[in-house]
Amino acid sequence: MKFGGSCLKDEESFKHTVSIIKKYLKKSKLIIVTSAINGITDQLMEFYKKSNDLDINGDLILDQIHERHSKIINEILPENSEYHENNMEFLKQNVRDLNNLGRVINLIHPSKNLQDLIVSYGEKLSTFLLCTYLNSLGFKSEFISSDEIIQTDDNFGNAFPLLDDTEELVNERIKPLLNSSSCEIACIPGYYGSTKDKKITTLGRGGTDLTAALVAYSLRSFYRCKVVYWKDVKGFLDVDPKMCNKAVLLRKISYIEAKELAFFGTKVLHPLCLDVSEKGNFPSEIRSFYDPYTDEFTTITQEFTKDVTGIRAITYIYRLSMVTIKSGTMISLPKTASKLFSLLDENNITIKFISQSSSENNITFVIHMEDSMKVSSLLRESIYFGKQWFSIKIDNNVSLIAVIGAGMMYTPGIAGKIFTTLGNNDVNVRAIAQGSSELNFTAIIERENCKKAINVLYDAFIG
Ligand code: ASP
Ligand code: MG
């Protein structure tokens, strides 16, 4: 089970978390993967930044972090008990370590790696506290630090998990626990791991999801695993309720469909987490932390069912810019495309959509609107594109809409129906693309038509 930061923000949420754990414990052993207490990761990042500045000013942040945790410790652990004492000592020691780290950073400005080490304290503190709390209530629970079991590359800040090594480490460490009667709950901090040479790394924001998936992946050959993600939503919806008031919960969805949804901006889970779970072929559930026993939740599995229309969800990205570069026919576009995309890549521009006409004299791509100015000057200042051979056009008023569904693969005529539906409703389609997986069909339209397009497509395919 994965519990995020808002499941661990105060006395009440800690108690609620434990009530959920208690219920599930009747049926199986549990591995709990937890985030930092709500807001602490941001504060630790701020602390790292401040420590890098000349005038060290991070002490105040550490005071706040100490205060936040000790308040919860006082509320949930019985005063004068060994649990209380141990946890206060653990907190003090870790804040002291952070303080020392801050001073080292301030003095010698070491490499950026230390940011990962610093932010990992958030998960370490929250998870240790939850584990102690469970023990104080009579559960047999054990804390395992993630640097012992999650192995990653050295891409600090956004490290990539090494699956085989992680699998070995998890099995070595967790299997004996699961098989012994002295432990019923394993508590593992999310978000961080370590490199082969034992440097702490983090898995990117929201990385606790990924930790949970990695642990289940590693144990899949020996246990029947399922991952439950406790979230502040009930699961994946078939359309954004802000855009269409008919939104319905998707109760069952395949990993490939969930990945499409994630790509188009439905951020329910860390993106890599879906890949790892699909690979591991175990089910996942998204459930509401605030309504834990409702039968409304999303199950994600490897297999998908073909439904009537083949369309499961309509999604969109609202604020985008469409860039078209056009050349005379003398310029060969293969070279142009590689030059273009290298230039964008080197400058960290994310591309959400690409299309090229068959006459090969223009390429259209779509980027986040915030990147529009940057891309415009990159292109105009580049020796290749800035010269007279190309014309560059940027339209900052477009949105992307996508219809998604694995059943599309078997259903002819989807594209035709999309065009007819949009056409009949006066929505002008500026560009189209279909993923080669045939799981999504994407259209670029004018932003003023975005809401209308979502609603008419919803009615045509789902509603
Ligand atoms: N605490 C980390 C973050 O805020 C990881 C997580 O919450 O999953 O991004
Ligand atoms: Mg979080």
Structural domain of 191: 2-225
- Indicate which residue's Cα is closest to atom 8 of ligand 1: 206
* Residue at 260 is within a domain: no
**pLDDT tier for residue 112 given thresholds of 50, 70 and 90:** confident
pLDDT confidence of residue 306: 59
Percent of the chain whose predicted confidence (pLDDT) is above 70: 95
**Ligand 1 test: best mutation among 2, 32, 205, most atoms within 8 Å of CB?**
205
Ligand closest to 122 (CA) is 1
**pLDDT tier for residue 305 given thresholds of 50, 70 and 90:** low
The finding on whether 206 has its CB within 6 A of some atom of ligand 1 is yes
The finding on whether 207 has its CB within 6 A of some atom of ligand 1 is yes
The finding on whether 218 has its CB within 6 A of some atom of ligand 1 is no
Considering the domain architecture, whether residues 203 and 351 belong to the same structural domain is answered as: no
| Residue 326 main-chain phi, psi, to 5 deg | -125, 140
The finding on whether 126 has its CB within 6 A of some atom of ligand 1 is no
CA of 206 to the centre of ligand 2 (A): 5
- CA–CA dist 282, 322 (Å, integer): 39
The finding on whether 235 has its CB within 6 A of some atom of ligand 1 is no
CA of 450 to the centre of ligand 2 (A): 30
Closest CA to 1 of 27, 28, 34: 34
Closest CA to 366 of 378, 353, 350: 353
**pLDDT tier for residue 138 given thresholds of 50, 70 and 90:** very high
Considering the domain architecture, whether residues 220 and 320 belong to the same structural domain is answered as: no
The finding on whether 5 has its CB within 6 A of some atom of ligand 1 is yes
The predicted model gives 195-215 an average pLDDT of 97
The predicted model gives 362-388 an average pLDDT of 90
CA of 294 to the centre of ligand 2 (A): 23
CA of 203 to the centre of ligand 2 (A): 12
**Ligand 1 test: best mutation among 208, 229, 232, 273, most atoms within 8 Å of CB?**
208
CA of 194 to the centre of ligand 2 (A): 19
The predicted model gives 220-225 an average pLDDT of 96
Considering the domain architecture, whether residues 337 and 208 belong to the same structural domain is answered as: no
* Residue at 240 is within a domain: no
Considering the domain architecture, whether residues 214 and 337 belong to the same structural domain is answered as: no
The predicted model gives 38-58 an average pLDDT of 88
The finding on whether 298 has its CB within 6 A of some atom of ligand 1 is no
* Residue at 192 is within a domain: yes
Mean pLDDT of the chain: 92
CA of 206 to the centre of ligand 1 (A): 4
The finding on whether 146 has its CB within 6 A of some atom of ligand 1 is no
The predicted model gives 239-266 an average pLDDT of 89
* Residue at 256 is within a domain: no
Q: Residue 308 pLDDT > 60, yes or no? A: no
The predicted model gives 270-297 an average pLDDT of 95
Tell me the CATH number at 449. Answer: 3.30.2130.10
Domain C-terminal end among 172, 194, 225:
225
* Residue at 335 is within a domain: yes
* Residue at 152 is within a domain: yes
pLDDT tens for each residue of 140-190: 999 999 999 999 999 999 999 999 999 999 999 999 999 999 999 999 999
**pLDDT tier for residue 368 given thresholds of 50, 70 and 90:** very high
The finding on whether 189 has its CB within 6 A of some atom of ligand 1 is no
Q: Residue 21 pLDDT > 70, yes or no? A: yes
* Residue at 21 is within a domain: yes
Ligand closest to 208 (CA) is 1
pLDDT confidence of residue 406: 80
The finding on whether 36 has its CB within 6 A of some atom of ligand 1 is yes
Ligand closest to 207 (CA) is 1
Q: Residue 330 pLDDT > 60, yes or no? A: no
- Indicate which residue's Cα is closest to atom 9 of ligand 1: 205
CA of 182 to the centre of ligand 2 (A): 31
Number of domains the chain is built from: 2
Judged by average pLDDT, the poorest of 65-74, 75-84, 188-197, 299-308 is: 299-308
pLDDT confidence of residue 389: 76
* Residue at 251 is within a domain: no
Ligand closest to 205 (CA) is 1
- CA–CA dist 444, 459 (Å, integer): 19
pLDDT confidence of residue 437: 66
pLDDT confidence of residue 411: 76
The finding on whether 190 has its CB within 6 A of some atom of ligand 1 is yes
CA-based angle 364:387:392, to the nearest 5?
A: 25
CA of 335 to the centre of ligand 2 (A): 42
Domain C-terminal end among 225, 258, 292:
225
Tell me the CATH number at 180. Answer: 3.40.1160.10
User: Could you identify the atom of ligand 1 that is nearest to the CA of residue 207?
Assistant: 8
CA of 40 to the centre of ligand 2 (A): 9
Domain C-terminal end among 200, 225, 250:
225
